[in-house]
């Protein structure tokens, strides 16, 4: 027998019938994103199709005193798309997946936020263009999510983060108003919104820059008997003035996990580290750049070096890197992926300390990372069913992020703060810094109903005391029985 | 004009602004006042502050391609130090700007020939320390080239015209100086003909360092910058049909070009496919540059000849204007009261059509 609706009437009436689901199974499906530590079943899940429908939903939420969280594909690794609490509406953008225009001459695409990243590049491919940001989740993650998190990816070493490829956007702000923002507006509000993790409003359209697809690509795989040697090779490549499209490292445990999985790529199993380098551009450009790359790699006495421009072989080499996080499932049932950044010159030293932290906390720890820009991804594999393991993994994560900050780095390079790192913001920011960030947020969303509890700690940054009494705001760590 | 004050450190600057805010004074913070007359009128000013004592490298990490600078450091000083280390600042060339301060350059964010890619000024600022219009000292971003912790206030600072905050420390991204750099130029041609050459090269060259359509009244030329490995640059230069006018650092800094700056009061972006009709509307009355992706900075003899979208300050829709005004109110406080200037294309009942 159907339950009586818990939804306030304005929300129930904001979309055509059948596009807001509140049954227990749906709410359970959407209770978390790719960071599974915090789980909050939403009040309901809404599926708008246009800017006008999102505006209607947001206005209905405001009228009803309900908070909301926008979600693309839910691939966020920091809890950014996890509902903010049991009385929070989840606005799911998968029905907003159209390419509204694609202009090859001006190299601009206007898309709805639910479009999957890789599908935009596929649509642009016939024109010799592509969308450069390539997070590992690009075959699943949506462009709206990429913008909200300012996603990176292996190729952002050369091409920049998502923010470098956004020309404009449309946002329904925290007051239910439609804001069209453009990079040429003088004040770069558009740039401010990118990476704000849905706390300024809900994205409904994105104007994106496409770039020419390189005509030549060459990929190198070098294996080393020590992580230090691999890191030194990276430093030498970067200081040579060469700008590879990607510079990625996997450590021994990651190599073993990958090679034992369906993502096996032929990485040498005895190596302590493998370095993937990719050069792209025009043929003569790539040919010229391969010389300093090979010189740098050879100077560190590699165990093996493989070089290929064959698309199938390149895909094989990348399969291991892109599938590495999936392969971690072979190690333990739970995975906690960190995202700290350190100055590249400190990579080797910080990695040694990270290994020591893993040992001290008795946690299985592997590393797959964007070496060129010092963006580490320590993977903490654990079994949450074993008493104390989850807690030890969390403690190891906390210590690793603190270590990154102490080394002059940051707690997140591309995954965002979300729920995950909110307690660690104080490593980077003073109370005044957080107060200013809170004020900036409230310029877009005075009542703090857009994805509350993400990016900034509630109460502390706002200077408004605890938000516990406000409905739909605090993350509930208690699983609600659907 | 009031006599300027020269705070020597962030604490002095914060104290001056805090005191000014308490007394209801209006403040304007500049680097060395080299651009005092530029941009929207800051309005009546009681407190003029210059940051030229906050200068020099505060941290330099060539191996990480980053550095920290005082905001009063000039572009010339900065570039000299970088070139000694085989490094460079990616944006530019900023013609005739070597005496300008880095803080001022970022606050203004002038048109930037290399700025169509990651070399946009807003992508260079990794973090900062600043003082807001109430005298509060705060920091944002960090020192590493990849960082998404907290909101990206660096984007808010770059191009804000000093209306929201005064930076006291800049964290900047650097690049290795490309091994070979060339600046090439076409002959002077009728503007539409030059635009044809520009568009053809734009299609052929996916990654030039810069590609400008340079307008000089009734004539125009194309200026191309190439940077990278010798064999690649030589090959591209040969196929471009243009002649080399400068090499190496001289080329990187804009030497050997036409001396027509990438500045001007009229700024915006035109779609590359629409450059021809844009030039027709200008009718030979403009001097300046249109860059690779259509961003431009022009001096225009008869501003009425501009398409309406480019006349006057940038236009913001009411919802965006509401947010900008809140930011000005909460962060900017007493800073440059008239600097944040934009038009609101549709009526906003409580504030009227134009906000200054």
The tens digit of pLDDT for each residue in A274-332 reads 999 999 999 999 999 999 999 999 999 999 999 999 999 999 999 999 889 889 888 99
Flag whether pLDDT at B232 surpasses 50: yes
Mean pLDDT over the full length of chain B: 89
What per-residue confidence (pLDDT) applies to A381? 95
CATH code of the domain covering residue A366: 3.30.70.2740
Which residues numbered 145-164 in B keep a CB inside 8 Å of some CB on A? 145-153, 155-156, 158-161
Q: For chain B, where are the E strands, in sequence order?
A: 4-5, 27-30, 47-50, 57-61, 66-69, 87-88, 125-132, 137-141, 165-173, 175-176, 180-185, 210-216, 219-228, 243-247, 266-269, 286-290, 295-300, 342-343, 354-355
Q: Could A281 and B207 be called an inter-chain contact, meaning their C-beta atoms sit closer than 8 Å?
A: yes
- pLDDT band for position A457 (50/70/90)? confident
Q: Could A440 and B327 be called an inter-chain contact, meaning their C-beta atoms sit closer than 8 Å?
A: yes
Name the minimum distance, in Å, from the CA of B320 to any CA of chain A: 5
What per-residue confidence (pLDDT) applies to B38? 65
Higher pLDDT: B207 or A308? It is: A308
Quick one: B165 and B278 in the same domain? no
Closest by CA to A254, choosing from A272, A232, A236, A239, is A272
Quick one: B173 and B185 in the same domain? no
- Note the pLDDT tens digit of each residue in A1-45: 456 888 999 999 999 999 999 999 999 999 999 888 888 999 999
Report yes or no: B36 at the A interface, CB cutoff 8 Å: no
In angstroms, the CA B107 to CA B121 distance is: 10
pLDDT above 90 covers what percent of chain A?
A: 84
Asked if residue A430 belongs to a domain, the reply is: no
Quick one: A221 and A206 in the same domain? no
What per-residue confidence (pLDDT) applies to B115? 87
Q: Which residues of B touch A288 (CB under 8 A)?
A: 228-232
* Tokens coding A156: 């952002």
Quick one: B39 and B64 in the same domain? yes
In angstroms, the CA A183 to CA A166 distance is: 8
Distances (CA, A) of A307 to A158, A216, A219, A276, A315: 20, 13, 6, 10, 12
**For range B325-354, the mean pLDDT:** 71
CATH code of the domain covering residue A288: 3.30.70.2190
Check residue A121 and give left, alpha or beta (phi > 0: left; psi -120 to 50: alpha): alpha
Q: Give the count of domains, chain A.
A: 3
DSSP secondary structure letter of residue A71: E
- Note the pLDDT tens digit of each residue in B163-179: 999 999 999 999 999 99
Name the minimum distance, in Å, from the CA of B65 to any CA of chain A: 9
From B148, B149, B155, residue closest to A425, measured CB to CB: B149
Flag whether pLDDT at B74 surpasses 60: yes
Q: Could B145 and A373 be called an inter-chain contact, meaning their C-beta atoms sit closer than 8 Å?
A: yes
A-B contacts (CB, under 8 Å): 224
Q: Could A184 and B232 be called an inter-chain contact, meaning their C-beta atoms sit closer than 8 Å?
A: no
Q: Could A421 and B149 be called an inter-chain contact, meaning their C-beta atoms sit closer than 8 Å?
A: yes
From B118, B147, B155, residue closest to A188, measured CB to CB: B155
Domain span at B250: 180-310
Q: Could A288 and B330 be called an inter-chain contact, meaning their C-beta atoms sit closer than 8 Å?
A: no
ipTM: 0.93
- pLDDT band for position A459 (50/70/90)? low
In angstroms, the CA A346 to CA B233 distance is: 33
Quick one: A290 and A317 in the same domain? yes
Q: Is A395 exposed, middle or buried (CB count within 10 Å of its CB: 0-12, 13-18, 19+)? A: middle
Flag whether pLDDT at A466 surpasses 90: no
Cβ pair A409, A343 in contact under 8 A: yes
Degrees (nearest 5) of the Cα angle B297, B301, B302? 105
What per-residue confidence (pLDDT) applies to B39? 64
**For range A94-116, the mean pLDDT:** 97
Quick one: B61 and B83 in the same domain? yes
Give the residue on A whose Cα is nearest the Cα of B180: A241
Report yes or no: B340 at the A interface, CB cutoff 8 Å: yes
Indicate which of B83, B90, B131, B144 best probes the interface with A, i.e. most A CBs within 10 Å of its own CB.
B144
From A150, A211, A370, residue closest to B148, measured CB to CB: A150
CATH code of the domain covering residue B138: 3.30.465.10
- Note the pLDDT tens digit of each residue in B43-56: 778 999 999 999 99
- Note the pLDDT tens digit of each residue in A245-279: 999 999 999 999 999 999 999 999 899 999 999 99
Flag whether pLDDT at B351 surpasses 50: no
Q: Give the count of domains, chain B.
A: 2
What per-residue confidence (pLDDT) applies to A1? 42
Q: Could B153 and A192 be called an inter-chain contact, meaning their C-beta atoms sit closer than 8 Å?
A: yes
Domain span at A139: 99-212
Q: Could B228 and A194 be called an inter-chain contact, meaning their C-beta atoms sit closer than 8 Å?
A: no
Flag whether pLDDT at A86 surpasses 90: no
Quick one: B265 and B305 in the same domain? yes
What per-residue confidence (pLDDT) applies to B356? 32
DSSP secondary structure letter of residue B333: T
In angstroms, the CA A144 to CA A133 distance is: 12
Cβ pair B262, B111 in contact under 8 A: yes
- pLDDT band for position B346 (50/70/90)? low
Q: Which residues of A touch B271 (CB under 8 A)?
A: 103, 106, 108
- pLDDT band for position A482 (50/70/90)? very low
Cβ pair A302, A295 in contact under 8 A: no
Quick one: B238 and B351 in the same domain? no
Q: Could B229 and A180 be called an inter-chain contact, meaning their C-beta atoms sit closer than 8 Å?
A: no
Indicate which of B107, B118, B123, B147 best probes the interface with A, i.e. most A CBs within 10 Å of its own CB.
B147
**For range A185-199, the mean pLDDT:** 94
Which residues numbered 47-66 in B keep a CB inside 8 Å of some CB on A? 61, 63-66
């Amino acid at each position: 027998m159907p339950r009586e609706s818990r939804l306030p009437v304005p929300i129930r009436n904001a979309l055509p019938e059948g596009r807001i689901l509140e049954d227990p199974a749906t709410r359970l499906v959407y209770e978390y994103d790719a960071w599974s530590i915090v789980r909050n079943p939403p009040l309901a899940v809404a599926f708008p199709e246009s800017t006008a429908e999102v505006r209607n939903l947001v206005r209905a939420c405001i009228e009803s005193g309900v908070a909301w969280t926008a979600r693309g594909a839910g691939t966020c690794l920091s809890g950014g798309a996890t509902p903010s609490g049991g009385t929070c509406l989840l606005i799911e953008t998968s029905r907003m997946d159209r390419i509204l225009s694609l202009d090859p001459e001006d190299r601009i695409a206007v898309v709805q936020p639910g479009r999957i990243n890789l599908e935009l590049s596929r649509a642009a491919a016939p024109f010799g263009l592509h969308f450069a940001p390539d997070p590992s989740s690009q075959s699943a993650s949506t462009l709206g999510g990429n913008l909200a998190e300012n996603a990176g990816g292996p190729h952002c070493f050369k091409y920049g983060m998502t923010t470098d490829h956004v020309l404009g956007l449309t946002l329904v702000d925290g007051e239910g108003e439609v804001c069209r923002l453009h990079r040429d507006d003088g004040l770069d509000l558009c740039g401010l919104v990118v990476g704000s993790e849905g706390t300024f409003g809900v994205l409904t359209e994105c104007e994106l820059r496409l770039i020419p697809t390189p005509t030549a690509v060459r990929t190198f795989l070098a294996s080393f008997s020590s992580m230090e040697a691999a890191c030194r090779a990276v430093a030498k490549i970067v200081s040579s003035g060469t700008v590879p499209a990607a510079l990625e490292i996997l450590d021994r445990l990651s190599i073993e996990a990958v090679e034992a999985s369906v993502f096996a790529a032929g990485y040498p199993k005895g190596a302590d580290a493998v370095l993937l380098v990719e050069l792209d551009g025009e043929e003569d450009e790539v040919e010229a750049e391969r010389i300093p790359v090979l010189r740098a790699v050879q100077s560190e006495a590699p165990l093996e070096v493989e070089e290929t421009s064959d698309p199938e072989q390149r895909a094989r080499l990348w399969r291991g890197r892109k599938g590495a996080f999936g392969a971690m499932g072979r190690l333990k049932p739970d995975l906690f992926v960190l995202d700290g950044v350190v100055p590249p010159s400190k990579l080797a030293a910080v990695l040694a300390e990270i290994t020591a932290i893993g040992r001290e906390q008795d946690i299985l720890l592997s590393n797959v990372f964007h070496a060129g820009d010092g963006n580490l991804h320590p993977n903490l594999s654990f079994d949450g069913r074993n008493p104390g393991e989850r807690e030890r993994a969390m403690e190891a994560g906390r210590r690793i992020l603190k270590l990154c900050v102490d080394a002059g780095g940051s707690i997140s390079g591309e995954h965002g703060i979300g729920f995950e790192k909110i307690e660690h913001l104080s490593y980077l920011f003073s109370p005044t810094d957080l107060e200013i960030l809170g004020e900036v947020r409230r310029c877009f969303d005075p009542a703090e109903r857009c994805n509350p509890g993400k990016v900034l700690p509630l109460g502390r940054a706002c200077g408004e005391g605890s938000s516990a009494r406000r409905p739909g705001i605090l993350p509930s760590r208690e699983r609600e029985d659907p | 004009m009031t006599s300027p004050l020269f705070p020597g450190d962030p604490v002095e600057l914060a104290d001056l602004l805090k005191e000014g805010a308490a007394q209801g004074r209006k403040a304007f913070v500049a680097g060395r006042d080299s651009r005092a007359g530029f941009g929207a009128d800051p309005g009546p000013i009681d407190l003029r502050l210059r940051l030229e004592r906050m200068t020099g490298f505060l941290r330099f990490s060539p191996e990480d391609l980053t550095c920290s600078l005082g905001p009063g450091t000039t572009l010339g000083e900065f570039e000299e130090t970088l070139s000694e280390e085989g490094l460079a600042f990616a944006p530019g060339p900023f013609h005739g700007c070597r005496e300008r301060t880095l803080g001022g350059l970022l606050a203004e964010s002038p048109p930037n020939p290399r700025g169509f890619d990651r070399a946009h000024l807003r992508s260079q600022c990794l973090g900062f320390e600043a003082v807001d219009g109430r005298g509060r000292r705060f920091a944002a971003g960090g020192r590493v080239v990849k960082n998404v912790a907290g909101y990206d206030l660096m984007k808010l600072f770059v191009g804000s015209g000093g209306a929201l905050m005064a930076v006291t420390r800049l964290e900047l991204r650097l690049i290795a100086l490309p091994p070979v750099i060339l600046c090439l130029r076409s002959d002077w041609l009728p503007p539409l003909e030059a635009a044809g050459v520009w568009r053809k090269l734009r299609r052929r060259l996916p990654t030039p360092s810069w590609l400008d359509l340079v307008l000089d009244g009734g004539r125009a030329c194309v200026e191309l910058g190439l940077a990278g490995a010798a064999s690649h640059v030589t090959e591209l230069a040969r196929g471009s049909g243009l002649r080399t006018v400068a090499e190496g650092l001289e080329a990187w800094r804009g030497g050997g070009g036409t001396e027509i700056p990438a500045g001007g009061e009229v700024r915006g972006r035109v779609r590359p496919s629409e450059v021809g009709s844009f030039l027709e509307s200008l009718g030979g009355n403009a001097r300046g540059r249109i860059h690779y992706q259509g961003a431009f900075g022009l001096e225009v003899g008869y501003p009425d000849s501009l398409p309406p979208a480019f006349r006057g300050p940038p236009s913001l829709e009411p919802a965006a204007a509401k947010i900008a005004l809140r930011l000005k109110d909460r962060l900017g406080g007493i800073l440059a009261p008239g600097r944040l200037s934009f038009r609101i294309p549709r009526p906003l009942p409580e504030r009227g059509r134009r906000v200054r």
